[in-house]
Structure 1
Amino acid sequence: MTVGSHNSRSRSRVGSRHSRASDQPDLFQQLEEPTPPPHLDLDIGPELLGALHTALRQARTRGLSRERVVDAMNRYLPDLARPITLRQLNAWTAASKEFSEFPARYVAAFCVATECDLPMRVLASAIGADLYDAREADARRLGESLIEAARLRREQSDIRRRLGG
C-alpha cells in the first residue's frame, strides 16, 4: 500500500466526521488536517545555495577541500549508479548554473561530509521545523521530566491535603 492511498482513505473518513449538534467540522478533523497559510513561500533556492557555500567554506577552514567533500559523499552514498563528481558539486553550487540545483537526496551526505548541518536546517526551517542534536534532545527531556516531577509533587500535595494528612 502506498502512503498516498492510505492518506486519501483516512482523509475521506476524517472528512466525513461532523458534529451531530451542528454543521461545524469536528475539532479532531481540524487537528488532523492542517492547512498551510496561503502566503507560504517554499522557494528556498537562494537560502539553500547560501547554506551550501557556507558549509563548503567552513569545511575548507578545517582542511576539507571540495575534492575531499565529494569523496566523502561518495563513501556515504555507496549505492549510486554513478559516483558524484567534483564537476557536479561545482555546478550544483554555482549561482550561474540556472538549471543545475543541488539534489535533495544528497543533502544528508553533504552535511556529514562537510560536518555542517546548515543546509539541512534550511530545509527544516522552510516547513517550520527545527533540528536539534542529542544534547539538545537530552536537555529538552530533562526539562520535561522536571516539569512533570513538579506537577506530580503538586498533585501528591493536593491529595494529602484532601485526605487530611
Structure 2
Amino acid sequence: MVRRKKGGSVPGQLSLFDFVEEIQQEQEKSTEINPGSLNISLQLRNTLSEGLKYSSLSRFEVACRMSELVGVEITKSQLDSWTAESKEHHRFPAEYLPAFCHVTGFKQPLKMMAKLVQCYLLESEEALLAELGKIDQVRKDLSRREKTVRDLIGRMKADM
C-alpha cells in the first residue's frame, strides 16, 4: 500500500483511514471461515496470560479487582485455570472480559475477538478521529448534493 503523507503527519505513517483500508483489504483476502477456525480457546488463554504479564498487578490483585467490578468472587486459582493450556475444560467467561481488560489495562483480548468477526476496536482518540472522518465525509456528500441542486436551479433559470 502506498503510504500517503497527510498534512502534519509523520512521513511514511499511515493515516487512520489508510489503516482501515489496509485492514479491509486483508480481511477481504481472509473472509473464508473454515470449520473449527473460530475455536479460540488456546489463543484466548495465551492472550489472557499476556495481559496478566502486561499488568503491574499480581494475579491476586487482578482477581480481587475483577471480583469487585463483576460482583462475583474470582480467585487467583480461577485465573490460573483459565490461562493454563493444561486446563482445557476451564473456560474464561466472556462476561468477565470487560473487567479483565479494565483491571489489567490490556485490551488485546477484545481486539483479537473483534478481528475474528471483521470488526475494529478503536480506542479513545482513534474513535474520535474516525467520527471526524465520518463528519468530513457527510460534509463532502452534502457539498456535492448542494452543487447538484444549484446546477439544476441554474439550468432551470437558463431554460426560462
Q: TM-score, normalised by structure 2?
A: 0.68
Residue identity in the other structure for 1:154: R
State the secondary structure of the residue aligned to 2:81: helix
User: Deviation of residue 104 (structure 1)?
Assistant: 1.8
CA deviation after TM superposition for structure 1 residue 54, in Å: 1.2
The letter of the residue matching 1:126 is: L
Equivalent residue number for residue 45 of structure 1:
41
Residue 112 (structure 2) aligned to one of 109, 112, 122? 122
Q: How does 1:84-163 map to 2 (within 5 A)?
A: 84-163=74-153
Displacement of 1:87 in angstroms is 1.1
Unaligned stretches of 5+ in structure 1? 1-35
CA contact (8 A) 1:73 1:84 kept: yes
Partner of 1:28: none
Number of residue pairs the alignment of both structures matches: 124
Q: CA RMSD in A?
A: 2.1
Correspondence 1:76 to 2:66: no
Match of 2:34, as an amino acid?
Answer: H
TM-score (norm 1): 0.66
Q: Give unmatched runs, 5+ long, in structure 2.
A: 1-30
Stretch of structure 1 that moved more, 124-133 or 63-72: 124-133
